[in-house]
Structures are given as C-alpha cells and as structure tokens.
Structure 1
C-alpha cells in the first residue's frame, strides 16, 4: 500500500473501530495466495486488514464479506478466531472491499514435518488441529446465525460444477487428467447423506496460529472458502495436502516417516476425528480424497492465472500454480492403484 492509502485509512478507521488511532505503518504479509493481507501498526495497537485483490476477478471469488461474517459469527463458539472489528462497504476508501480484525501474535508453521519441534510436540500440534476441526463441524449453523450461509442440496455436486467452471475459466488448454478426474467424480458421487455443517474450506497447518510455548491454537485464519457443506470435505482436504511431497512448493508429508516424526498416520488422524465426533467409520473415502485433489488443483490453477495477469497476492503464486497438474495426476494414480478407474 502506498502512503496515500495509509493516510486515507489513518483518517477513516478511527471513526469505524472504537479506540483506533495513530496509524503509523502498513506492512504486507508475505503469505497468502488470494486476498492480500496487511499488518496495521497504530498507536492503539496492531490490527490485520484483508482486502480483495485488484484487477478482474473470477465470479464469487475473494469474498471478504463472507469471511468477515464467519469470523464474527464464531467469536464465542469455541473455535478460536480473531476478533472481527470492521467490514468496509464496496467500493471502499482504498478502492477494494476490506475488513479489519484483531492481530493475534503467535507462531505459524509452514512445513508440516515440523522440523523445529520434538515428536511429542508434533503430535500435540496435529491433535490440536484435529480437535478444532471437529469442534467446528459440531456447531449447528443455525445456532450462530449461519443457517443461510450455503445453498441447499448435494454439496459435492454443486462444488464439482463450481470448480470445474472456475478451472476452465483459468486455463487455455485443460489437463486431460483433470477432465478424467471430473468425469470420475461425477459418476461416483455418493448419495447425499444429509450431513451439513460450517466448513472452513482451506484447513491446513499454515492457517493456524499457535502459542509457541504451549502449542495451544490461538486462531484459525483464512475463511474465504468457508460455506455450509459436508464436514468430510475439510478432513479429506487436509489429508490430501499431507499426501503431497515434502519437497514441493506447498509442502506435504509424502515420502516421510510419520511414525518416526511423531505425526499421526492418515488412518490415525481420521480415527482421531471420528472419535471426537462419534463417527463409527467413513465410507467412500477415495471420493472425498479425490474431490479434494480436484478442488485444490482448480484453486491453484486460479492462482496461476492471477500470476499470469499480474494481480497475484504472493510472489510464489506461479510456483504454487504449477502444482495443479501434479495434484490431478496424484488423484488419478490413487484411483488406478485402488482399481477404481
């Protein structure tokens, strides 16, 4: 942000956020692929601002107003989130819609192998994420005013259609593996079982802020993709990412000895979740897993398109976007290995 924007926000925010005064610095966070995020330093303390990116945007993407609504609804739910402080109108004083939330200092871990921690602490970190996810899915959306936060009907059918469209809008020549994967998902979508909860949509290690001393989770961030949907979509999405190679631009745990590291295996991690939520077993796991590969590949292809257009939030956007074909290939390999395609 330039000095002009700093001056505009410095004059604007004191009338919108109680106690805010003396804005002196705005610094962009390096992480994040979608909505640019900034640390605001003021005489009254530190805050975080998230805004829509500049330029032409895909339809329904970068919905910072939805993100703000979720954070505000979860303030006293038991799910740790920052305090929601202000949502701007659109267009805003800085040109794009934005919101301001509290700054929650702590540690963000970027490598899921957690090389800086002991095996016991690694296990605690993963158990903590699992517990927060299960807590989120146990909340009745109507109890926090979010019963209208998603469309009715089969979540997976709607999501496959949405991300197929977004993928095709983000690429000139579709990947044959993605087309094959979409065909399999459409043909193998499980019957709607009626499960519906608030889902985060981007559950991963680097969206959690941890207390560096206790490993307690202080906040779950980045709710842009949240909606009402099937809770197993969140669980499968995290497990999918942990299957990715540890050497890739977005690190997973693929190829590592999780037992030696003290990190639960996929089976153990799913078991912890089922135990927390009182679930006996999960059927159709390959579908949920491959849906997650497809959806994440579509998301990363959108990241690549924004990098090509010059309005990506991160300087790593192109490297992340290049992972989309790998994800589609991993899904197809999983299906072929398990004789499902």
Structure 2
C-alpha cells in the first residue's frame, strides 16, 4: 500500500468521529489563551487508534487528539497520559508539539481530548526516505538515533515523570498486558503464531538489570516531524504507548525498520539495498545508539525485536477487533488488520533467531 498517500494530509471528518464544532469552539475560547475563531475542523487521514483533527482558525492552526467513541478496552486510548508526557518533555526542550490544553469532560465532544500546537515540517512515511538524496540520508538517520538516545537519557524523577509507569519487571508486565488484550478480544479471533509467542516470551525474558526510562513505544520515522529543510527532528508525535520502561525495548521497536519489509504495514527496510541508498546498516545504527547511551552492545537484541513485533501484532489484533465493533479510527484500518498474520509469523521468526523451537 502507498502509506504516504493514505496517511498524509487531512480529509473531511468521518461520520463516526463527528462532534459539535460550536461546543468545541466555545470551550477553546474559555480554555486557550489567544484563541479566536471562527473554527473549522478537518480530520487527519492517519491515526489508527486516537482520532486526530486539524483545528483551523484565521490566524493559526492547532491539533486535537481524542479518545475514539464507543466501547474501549481498559487502559487504551489514554490521551490524558499523552498530554502529560508532552507537557513534561516540552519543558526540557525535547522536541514535542507544545501542549495547549486538556479536556476530560466528555460532554464537550463526547470523549476526552487534548489540544497541542500544529508543527509545520516534513513527515517521511517510508524508512528509506525516498524524497531525499543519497548524500542527505545519513544525517536524517542520525537525527532519529540522537533523538531517541536523548529521550532515554532523561531522568524520569527529575522531570516529574517518576510515577508515569511502574518501574521494574517491564517485559513481564508488558507481555502479560498484550497477551491479555490479545486473548481477551474474542471478536478479533486467534492467530497461531501469536499463541506460540504468548507461551514463549514470558519464559525467555533476558536476565539482568531492568532499567526504567521514559519510552515512546512507537518511535519510527513517520511519528516525527522534521525541519522543512534540515535533518532535525522538530516534534515526536503519538505518545499513546509511552510509559516508564526498558530503553532497549524502545530502541528495538525503532530498529524493527531494518527487519520489516519495505512494502509492509510500517516503514521497513528489509530487502532494500542499504549501501546503494547510503543508509547506515543495522549494525552501524546499533553502534551509534550504544555509543550515545554508554553501552558496549545489545546481546539480546533478537528477543527485544521479537517482543516488539508481538506487541505490534497485538495492536493490529486490537484494530481488527475495533473493525468488528465498528469503532476503528482510520479509513484504511481493514488494510492494517489484514497484515496481522504476516507480522505474527515474522515475530515468531525473530523468536526463533533468539532460540525458540
């Protein structure tokens, strides 16, 4: 699928996600300093989980992220957490959109939501960065690597996020959470490779110190806004899956791009001629991150990648369930859900690389 065409830009607000614009405008007038209508609303094409809107006024634009309407799984779509983390990170100078206001009153548009600044720049939907020249690509990869290492270098306690998640036993808790969500969504059905992973993962968690840092949870090129002309990340987007967790899990999720197919559901580089495109190899990219974070290497990388592919497959399984319930946020959610079994098989392949039989 053409991910750029399907996700870029805005469209008319979809029927299932419409709300009273006048009521929102009155709330914005009360809560947002300097807001001045009239207000018009468009919906971003992307966004599989939380519907996202562009709020347009005569002088500026904002972005609104909301919980989707309908029955929600426990703990999912926590826009309040997204707002909290971008507000805290923004104060540290980390590249996020400025947090403007949070509304937890369902009576305004039907669900909780928050508003942030609209950041103008470039979003690259493919990990090969086809819009760039070969000479430009290394600097953009380095910018992503630097940004994630910078996030993992922040002390959660020092920036007011020490209670943003439970420290310790990260993999055990996450495997349990996503297994429960997968097993509990009967409307989405079962997948053989997922069943195997549910059994194998908890028994093969790497031993060692369980670090606790702020992790993004969905760090990839299309969740970043780059400067219009420079290899600089202006804003990291979509913090729904952020928490306190093991930084190597977060990095391995980002690194999945090297093992995911280029024509797949997410931005992938598997099968791409990296040298011809002047893209750093996986080993070079790992080495750069390790140098920035003071590590000598990542010996259990295959497990971390298998875990992250499992988690992503569980998310697609959730999308499949939302399709069945009629609450899927994206117009092409069905195409995303169609990739579930292939991704689950790929996740099991990574587990086999880590020793699964």
Q: TM-score, normalised by structure 2?
A: 0.91
Name the residue aligned to 2:198.
182
Q: Deviations over 1:247-268 (max 9, x none)?
A: 2243411111112111111111
Cα pair 1:92 1:98 within 8 Å, conserved = no
Take 1:95 and 1:192, find their aligned partners in 2: how far apart are those partners? 45
Q: Secondary structure at the match of 1:74?
A: helix
* Counterpart position of 2:6: none
Q: Distance in 2 between matches of 1:238 and 1:301?
A: 20
SS in 1 for 2:235: strand
Deviations 1:281-314 (A, max 9, x none): 1121121111011101001111121122221111
Structure 2 residue aligned with 1:262: 278
1:289 to 305, 316, 329: 305
Deviation at 1:115, TM superposition (A): 1.3
Alpha-carbon distance in 2 for matches of 1:129, 1:254: 18
Structure 2 residue aligned with 1:250: 266
Q: Which residue of 2 aligns with 1:121?
A: 136
Counterparts of 2:330 and 2:19 in 1: how far apart (Å)? Answer: 22
Q: Does 2:316 align with 1:316?
A: no
- Give the alignment of 1:38-77 within 5 angstroms: 38-77=53-92
Among 234, 237, 242, the residue aligned to 1:226: 242
The answer for the alignment partner of 1:146 in structure 2 is 161
Give the 3 Å change call, closer, same or farther, for CA 182–18 of structure 1 in structure 2. same
- For structure 1, the 5+ residue unaligned runs are none
Q: Distance in 1 between matches of 2:151 and 2:267?
A: 25
Is 1:78 aligned to residue 89 of structure 2? no
| Unpaired segments ≥5 residues, structure 2 | 1-12
Q: How far apart are residue 4 of structure 1 and its match? A: 6.1
- Number of the residue aligned with 2:346: 330
Give the TM-score normalised by structure 1.
0.96
The 3-state SS of whatever aligns with 1:62 is coil
Describe the SS at the equivalent of 1:75. helix
**2:50 and 2:68 in contact (8 A); partners too:** yes
Cα root mean square deviation, aligned: 1.6
Q: Residues 200 and 356 of structure 2 are in contact (CA less than 8 Å); yes or no, is this contact kept in structure 1?
A: no
- The answer for the alignment partner of 2:314 in structure 1 is 298
